[in-house]
Chains A and B, each alone.
Chain A
Amino acid sequence: MALPVYASPLERLWYYSYRVLCGLIFLFLIAPILIVIPLSFNVEPYFTFTEKMLSLDPDGYSLRWYDTLLTFGMATPEAPRDSSWWLDVWNNAAWVRAAKNSVIIGVSSTVVATVLGTVAALGLSRPEMPYRRAIMAILISPMIVPIIITATGLFFFYSATGLAGSYVGVVLAHATLGIPFVIITVTATLVGFDRSLPRAAASLGASPTTTFFKVTMPLILPGVISGALFAFVTSFDEVVVVLFVAAHDQQTIPRQMWNGIREQISPAILSVATILVIVSVLLLATVELLRRRSERLRGISG
């Protein structure tokens, strides 16, 4: 929307102030995420820029908070940093253990959510599907219902069935929360899916299984992977259900952060935050590439 030549001075003024306004809103969106990155290298235990940091003095910056991530919870943090020190980190450091738990829970729940969600999305996007609207509403509802209500319900359900405090319980709960994202992304990919392709495969003698893996799957794969990434992020970022149904020693990264923020917020939290921001940048880039690839595959020019 370029400024037309006939614009009055008032419109000219509005045009530029509008751009500045939008710039400020973009700043509001992105600044809080970027601000934690430099602050996580602060040498002092403060949450603000020190004089030294502002004058770009190398003495004002350090990696000490990243070091705490490794040493916190270790048996012998002072020992020389050889292979046994790193083994200690791997086995005992609180944040490393939390990361391991997060990855285990995240990957398992993503697999469950993606498999069930993709199969269901294939059914939902068939024109013959009965009660489509009502079933869709039920399947999307875990995304809409407030997380505290889901957690409360799961708390009662798991205490009655003995799933409380188990990995299975957390994985099932996180899979439930991730499923709406898989459904949404995969059904979006299936819009405009050429139904004559599976029929062509069948007419050439392929069994339904072969048709699915050789024809349908490659076409919807970008959507499936995006959905899986959404489901993984949902689980990786989830804290309320973990607080309600997980055992005390089942720490995950968000839970550890939650405890850190509630009790004594230290710049170590900022270094975790920085790592998580980098992870989300990578995920966003992957999803964006997949989306473009999917549009190319389906012949929608971008």
Chain B
Amino acid sequence: MADATAQIAATGTERLTTADGRPLKTALARAQARARRRAFLLVLPLLLFIVVTFIVPIGQMLHRSIHNDGFAANMPQLTQWFAETEPGTEPDETAYAALAADLKAAAEAKTIGVVGTRVNYEMAGTRSLFTSTGRKARKFEPPYRAAILEADEKWANPDLWGTMRQVSRAYSPNFFLAAVDLARDNEGNIVRAPAERRVYVMLFERTFVIAGLITFLCLLLGYPVAHLLATLPLRTSNLLMILVLLPFWTSLLVRTTSWIVLLQGQGVVNNTLVATGLISDSSRIQMIYNQAGTIIAMTHILLPFMILPLYSVMRPIPPSYVRAARSLGASSWTAFRRVYLPQTLPGIGAGALLVFILGVGYYITPALVGGASGQLISNLIAFHMQDSLNWSLAAALAAVLLGAVLILYWLYDRLVGIDNLKLG
């Protein structure tokens, strides 16, 4: 160090160097690069873990939403014919020969059901056509067109051939089209799905409307409570904070169960209302297994996520600001609206976004207390995963929901910053 100083003093304009003669700039850059590498190495194991157990599975799901080779993999010859001909070509004897060969092979490999299911997604009622014709496929003789039409004349339907041409492509955006209530006609044009199958857009709308309503209710209930907690002495507010944190720590299923107990027809709330004579025994209010049940229970469950960010913004606001406004002649309402409220906007933004993001993806509570009218898009994804087994459509719906959530998440990061996420 002493040498270095001496050097600078001696040469004046010469570059700064470290004791061993390297330029100081390079040495500093090297040290910083080492520190960066060290920090990154600490994070790396977790990053790899999350990539493997979280990012890759979601990537696989997204792939599934545009890829389904249920038809192409099991009907190779017909797929080949579709690839070689123009869309709208009349099926000729070659096509029927390919169909007969594929049906025979698929029936023997017992994959005919997979093929039928794949076509059935796009055109209802075709699964049984495939399985029944598959059973007769062994005996087909040329000319195949006549033989197949004899087995079932539905094979002459040009719509069926149009649908088969579409599903013969393993990669297609059709599931995304279905997820937003669109479909393709035989010429490949995008059209609206038949009226009785248009449910998804309605469900997305309902999900966003209900999540918005819940966010609003949480703000309405959370704001006064957060304000009270922020203005009370710390000792009292810490005690009252337990009432906010306990629901936060209690199992979601416990809270949902409690609401079932409270709200059902013979439940505590209805019984109290009947006992106090507010309503008659015959006119008990239906508060659960419908939209009202979903909204009440989810508002309760998400309320702490609104109160905590609001509280952390309100606590540091000095009470003297409002007092100053009052002393300058503002009414208490004006003082609140012009002085206090603007200072709490970051908290409102943080809480509202968090509640909305969590609300949009809710599954358990709507499934248990929502009935038919309180189901959200997550419940439909679960339905397609577990009951209808149309996994590609489930993946496409999940991808649309994921896109919406990621946009909101990005917004949250820009406006609030993930670092500011606090728990209790």
Which A residues fall within an 8 A CB radius of B? 1, 11, 14, 18-19, 21-22, 25-26, 28-33, 35-36, 39, 46-49, 116-117, 119-120, 122-124, 126, 128-130, 133, 135-142, 144-150, 152-158, 160, 172-173, 175-176, 179, 181, 184-185, 187-188, 230, 233, 236-237, 239-240, 244, 254, 257-258, 261-262, 265, 269-270, 273, 276-277, 280-281, 283-284, 287-288, 291, 302
Query: Which residues of chain B are near A145, meaning CB under 8 Å?
Result: 58, 361, 402, 405-406
Contact of B260 among A49, A116, A141, A261 (CB under 8 A): A261
Query: Which residues of chain A are near B56, meaning CB under 8 Å?
Result: 157
Q: Which of B3-34 contact A (CB under 8 A)?
A: 32
Q: Tell me the bound Cα distance from A252 to B242 in angstroms.
A: 28
The 5 closest A-B pairs by CB, nearest first: A146-B361, A123-B42, A153-B57, A157-B57, A120-B46
Q: Give 17 A-B pairs besides A128-B38, A133-B413 with Cβ atoms closer than 8 angstroms.
A: A25-B221, A25-B225, A119-B42, A123-B43, A124-B42, A136-B418, A138-B50, A146-B401, A147-B364, A148-B381, A237-B251, A257-B257, A280-B249, A281-B246, A281-B249, A283-B249, A284-B249
Contact of A141 among B36, B242, B401, B409 (CB under 8 A): B409
Interface size on B, residues (CB 8 A): 90
B398 x A152 contact (CB < 8 A): yes
Q: Tell me the bound Cα distance from A22 to B224 in angstroms.
A: 7
With contact pairs A18-B224, A156-B60, A179-B46 given, residues A129 and B40 touching in the complex (Cβ less than 8 Å): yes
B55-86, CB under 8 A of A: which get 1 and which 0? Answer: 11111110010000000000000000000000
A184 x B423 contact (CB < 8 A): yes
Query: Which residues of chain B are near A287, meaning CB under 8 Å?
Result: 249, 424
Q: Tell me the bound Cα distance from A11 to B394 in angstroms.
A: 55
Mostly helix, strand, loop or mixed at chain A's interface? helix
B43 x A135 contact (CB < 8 A): yes
Closest Cβ of chain B: how far from A7's Cβ, in Å?
Answer: 9
Contact of A273 among B50, B221, B257, B271 (CB under 8 A): B257
A116 to chain B: closest residue by CB: B46
Closest Cβ of chain A: how far from B66's Cβ, in Å?
Answer: 13
Subset of 27 A-B contacts with CB under 8 Å: A22-B224, A29-B300, A30-B246, A32-B262, A33-B246, A33-B247, A46-B266, A116-B49, A119-B45, A123-B41, A128-B36, A129-B40, A139-B43, A145-B58, A145-B406, A148-B361, A148-B363, A149-B405, A156-B61, A176-B53, A240-B363, A257-B253, A258-B253, A277-B250, A280-B246, A283-B249, A288-B424
A47 x B247 contact (CB < 8 A): no
Q: Tell me the bound Cα distance from A1 to B254 in angstroms.
A: 35
With contact pairs A120-B42, A123-B43, A233-B249 given, residues A149 and B267 touching in the complex (Cβ less than 8 Å): no
Tell me which of B115-123, B137-145, B169-177, B227-235 binds A: B227-235
With contact pairs A130-B36, A148-B363 given, residues A262 and B53 touching in the complex (Cβ less than 8 Å): no
Query: Which residues of chain A are near B319, meaning CB under 8 Å?
Result: 1
A265 x B260 contact (CB < 8 A): yes
Closest Cβ of chain A: how far from B399's Cβ, in Å?
Answer: 8
B242 x A276 contact (CB < 8 A): no
Query: Which residues of chain A are near B225, meaning CB under 8 Å?
Result: 22, 25-26
With contact pairs A11-B332, A36-B257, A148-B398 given, residues A29 and B244 touching in the complex (Cβ less than 8 Å): yes
With contact pairs A137-B418, A184-B421 given, residues A146 and B45 touching in the complex (Cβ less than 8 Å): no
- Say yes or no for B182: interface residue by CB 8 A criterion: no
A291 to chain B: closest residue by CB: B424
